[in-house]
Amino acid sequence: MVATVVELWRYPVKSLLGEVLAEVELEERGVAGDRLYAVTDRAGKLGSGKTSKRFRRLDGLFELRARVAGEQTFVTVPDGRELATDDPELDAFLSDRYEDELRIARETEVSHHDAYPLHLLTTSSIEWLAKQLPASQIDRRRFRP
């Protein structure tokens, strides 16, 4: 069997859209620069597509895109502005958007990964799932570690 890598993704900010890369560097915590940041609330919960003890559901995070340029991480907001993760304007944007005090926080001792630092997804598994759920739209971007 021969395997071909079709895409390599990195998500610099947890639960935001990420970036496709030509190559990645792997570290102990996974892809270098992956999920180094997360949207957090006052209680320290991480913004996510789900609510749990650790996560807070924030609908619309997929309308934001994160990318790394050099040593800086940027978030593109729906109006097209690109704000650095250390720019207070980004925290203000998030707080206004979700009507709560939110901020971008860098990962510390608690990982921003949901489960595992690296995730491999095959095109055949996506095709199989689509056949099993013909009424569903299977978006490969939803399968993130």
Q: What is the DSSP string of 1-49?
A: -------EEE-SBTTSB-EEES---EETTEETTTT-EEEEETT-PEEES
For 19, phi then psi, to 5°, come to: -135, 145
3 lies in a domain?
no
Mean pLDDT of 19-30: 93
Q: How confident is the model at residue 144 (pLDDT cuts 50, 70, 90)?
A: low
Distance separating alpha carbons of residues 4 and 118, to the nearest angstrom: 17
46 lies in a domain?
yes
pTM here is: 0.86
33 lies in a domain?
yes
Task: Report the number of distinct structural domains present in the chain.
Answer: 1
2 lies in a domain?
no
